[in-house]
Structure 1
């Protein structure tokens, strides 16, 4: 993957990493639902999750994933590892070791954070970003985007109706899927609602809600720098970062919680445990 900017709503970079002739194993229930979903009848969160998981597994296999003892993985687990249960999903977290700045969540509850993002945001700012991504899953945006993709690309056809596999996905189909996913846009309303989800999550759990404003200020600053053209292109589906920062500030002010946020120290290394030395006291007997 070579995404050079933070995509605060990209929950869908799923299929573009498959090989030229891929077989995706869908359960019979998921397949049937997708076929019906093609006509707009039904498409559940479980169906979207079943379709997302094999793609995420493939992405994990083709990216350098931080192991359990890696400092980035340790930090992410410390920040967010205790939050795994949602209303209808179970979250799992991994770090992709790349200088690219990105984070995304998928319909099956997979949250992937790029180490490049962890290099520029502190713990509270990461909470705001990841909370936003989870908001898209919680608000069913990921499900709706997956449904729209399958309706648009019509990957399920009569040839697959007797099987629980969509066989031999071709290079051209993969290109269309990848293009459709990358170009998929959440509505501005969905983006704003995901921002609100992140804010409410932080408020509920006692975190500094002003970090959300700070995260958007970072994006705004990046858009003015050397990466401005990339940031502008990749964030085109989102409300203006400055406006989102202003909205986050207004929320905090309304709640009486606003205070200019000062970014904390960013530490992506394993804490050094200082060894303590003990000295033995010697006693002498009086004669």
Structure 2
């Protein structure tokens, strides 16, 4: 898979796909067709479901008895329907650090993210991703990814018809979803959603603060070139952490977590 933090929000993995499409042509076609295509929430959900199904078959998914799946289920069992959005969760057993949510309510968490984040931090991160879906940022990402994968120009987009994607196009579509970049405003709005999600359910909102502190540490890693490139479209992680701290102090729920560091061992629980 590729990037998100979307969703993510975090760093990227690489899908094994072989799309025989010219990326420059797709990008140009998408920019011409995106405003012409009538695209409903139902369209976004249907296409996202297809894209995620493709991703699930091209990544190693943790089984029901895997410790990662057990931990995620323990955390999110009560969130099968969050804020009117039906959700489904799976863990990808991959070496990269990421998590994402799609317009159909699919939430995918990478095992290496779970290795370095506490339960509260994971809750905050996935709350952020759910925020992108609820704010319809993910709908926009699916629309753009579809146009790129279909190499659709303005004329064909104006027909308003959503055509089925071929297998090679599905691969490009999946990658495009994960490559989607949200605006800094959208990221900040998703941060607010995450905080409100944590507060509403009685979780420790300081987990959102420490998650961003860890992202800031990851961004300074010598091996974080791809991460830094992907995060360039996001607000500064340290500033985001401080925004969470200010909200928590205002709400009277701030508790100083002390120095935040990246763990050297896996945080399996």
TM > 0.5: yes
Could you tell me how far 1:148 is from its partner in structure 2? 3.2
Query: Would the alpha carbon gap of residues 188 and 69 (structure 1) be closer, same or farther in structure 2, given more than 3 Å must change?
Result: same
Could you tell me how far 1:82 is from its partner in structure 2? 1.4
| Gap regions ≥5 residues in structure 2 | 21-32
Following the alignment from structure 1 to structure 2, what is the Cα–Cα distance between the partners of residues 223 and 88? 34
**RMSD, aligned α-carbons:** 3.4
Between 1:143-152 and 1:65-74, the stretch displaced more is 143-152
Could you tell me how far 1:100 is from its partner in structure 2? 1.3
Following the alignment from structure 1 to structure 2, what is the Cα–Cα distance between the partners of residues 239 and 253? 21
Mapped pair 1:148 → 2:144:
yes
Number of equivalences: 248
Query: Would the alpha carbon gap of residues 243 and 69 (structure 1) be closer, same or farther in structure 2, given more than 3 Å must change?
Result: same
Q: Are the aligned partners of 2:17 and 2:168 in contact in 1 as well (CA < 8 Å)?
A: no
In structure 1, the partner of 2:253 is 257
Could you tell me how far 1:2 is from its partner in structure 2? 6.6
Could you give the per-residue CA deviations for residues 153-199 of structure 1, whole angstroms, max 9, x where no partner exists?
Answer: 6645759x7x975364657x965x56754543111111011011110
In structure 2, the partner of 1:52 is 48
Query: Would the alpha carbon gap of residues 182 and 52 (structure 1) be closer, same or farther in structure 2, given more than 3 Å must change?
Result: closer
Could you give the per-residue CA deviations for residues 24-76 of structure 1, whole angstroms, max 9, x where no partner exists?
Answer: xxxxxxxxxxxxx8554642222101011111111111111111111100000
Q: Tell me, what secondary structure is at the counterpart of 1:81?
A: helix
Query: Would the alpha carbon gap of residues 101 and 169 (structure 1) be closer, same or farther in structure 2, given more than 3 Å must change?
Result: closer
Query: Would the alpha carbon gap of residues 168 and 145 (structure 1) be closer, same or farther in structure 2, given more than 3 Å must change?
Result: closer
In structure 2, the partner of 1:235 is 231
Could you give the per-residue CA deviations for residues 98-144 of structure 1, whole angstroms, max 9, x where no partner exists?
Answer: 22111011111100001100100110000000110111001111012
Could you tell me how far 1:78 is from its partner in structure 2? 0.3
In structure 1, the partner of 2:67 is 71
Q: Tell me, what secondary structure is at the counterpart of 1:258?
A: coil
- 1:106 corresponds, among 90, 96, 102, to 102
Q: Are the aligned partners of 1:86 and 1:138 in contact in 2 as well (CA < 8 Å)?
A: no
Mapped pair 1:198 → 2:194:
yes
In structure 2, the partner of 1:209 is 205
TM-score relative to the length of structure 1: 0.74
Could you tell me how far 1:19 is from its partner in structure 2? 5.6
Mapped pair 1:268 → 2:265:
no
Query: Would the alpha carbon gap of residues 151 and 64 (structure 1) be closer, same or farther in structure 2, given more than 3 Å must change?
Result: closer
Mapped pair 1:134 → 2:130:
yes
Following the alignment from structure 2 to structure 1, what is the Cα–Cα distance between the partners of residues 163 and 147? 18
Could you tell me how far 1:8 is from its partner in structure 2? 4.3
Q: Which has the larger radius of gyration?
A: 1
In structure 1, the partner of 2:25 is none
| Gap regions ≥5 residues in structure 1 | 22-36, 270-287
